[in-house]
Structure 1
Amino acid sequence: MLFAAVATVATATGSGTAEDGGAAHAAAAVPGTGSADAGFARDMAVHHQQAVEMSFIVRDRTQDEAVRTLAYDIANTQANQRGMMLGWLDLWGLPKVAADREPMAWMAEEQSSGSGSGSGSGHAGQSSGSGGHAGHGGHSMGGVAAKPGALMPGMATKEELAQLSAAGGRDAEVLFLQLMTDHHKGGVAMAQACATLCRTPVERDLAQGMVDAQQSEITLMADMLRRRGAAPRG
């Protein structure tokens, strides 16, 4: 699946031919390091990594089959998608880390410039549970703001991850569902931006697929919380 997706990107970004101008076309079609395509791939790879981490944590903190199944599905899906996005960056010859740019800078720059030649991109090399830029000074993404101590909107803080690791049974289930609901809301907002701003067709399709799947899971998690006498946060 991953090979097929990367191969599709290779075709979408221009594979070049022996004809004159083929190589130039391929080079022009490859996204720049500050493009929405590259910024989304970097930032969402980080975002996904934390979702995988939280899913593995709750798997060991509860015996509830519904929660364990959801956690497995999220971990499997998002680890797969993360591999695709990092593979695209390799294919494009772009760095997976842009330490001089704040997370999601590509969203504001692309929207203000209307081009793919901006210089913004995210920190793909940051630890998934790290602090860092607290939503870069109150930045809001699609109406979802990053909390203090969280790298991007929707992401959990180190303290919240520690709470999840220390919880068990129903408490772990409720906290996981609440944290993952927030996480999905942040992910949906970022994916919606890529679906609009990204220029690589297969990446736009992946982003829209994330929006559809995660919105469905948000509804599912709200129902799972209700059955446990709880509700999403905020």
Structure 2
Amino acid sequence: MKDKFTHWYGVLIASPVGLITWLLTIGVFDLTTMISALVTGGTVFLSYFSTQQFTLQKYLNEHELTRSEYKYIKKELKSAREKQKRLFNSYKKIRNFSDIKLIFDINRVVRAIMKKVHNEPKLFYNGLQFFHSNLDSAVNMVEIYLDLYRLPGKTKEEKIELNTARLRLLDLKRNLELDLSEINRNDYNQLKIERAVLDRTEGVNTPRLENNDSKIRIKDFNAELSNTQKAGEYIDKK
């Protein structure tokens, strides 16, 4: 998402435009300070707004998104980032070394999905299961599991329930990994295409290399035969 980029790009364009407008209205057109300020403010606003909108529209065209889709995805990502923060804060509640890797793996997969969709917003639609179900389940289960685990005086049934919950978290981690695979599906398809092209290219080059090797061997054989004949002629002269 490029909100900050479009904002600073608009500021970068609007600032010199505003400065030039101010100098022209004061120095060249000799307008009053009040009128110059109004004209400059209007010019800055128009240049900033038009530049920002142009940059945003260019970004949307590159990613094949409408403005309504962009706003919707932006809203969903904002909500997902809040859940991601809650998941990251769960590290503070860990009381068991065996849970560190599990929570770390879950956080790592979530972070990878968020980064990928942030860079390519249209991939949001490939991860609907993640944003609308699996992320919520991961956050809620991790928080409840860790809160209950650190409580003292657990009964045998409660310990069994916690072990079952941990197994469910392992299943949930695998579901998150499947979500990541779905989001990366287009990249893997592209990789297959590139590999197929490379295989075909190597298939074309292999006969050519074999032909060149044959020519080299024939050339070496002819050279060796020529040297042998010359040696024989020399011996005959002797």
Structure with more relative contact order (C-alpha pairs < 8 Å, separation 6 or more) = 1
Larger-Rg structure? 2
More helix by share: 2
- TM-score normalised over the length of structure 2: 0.31
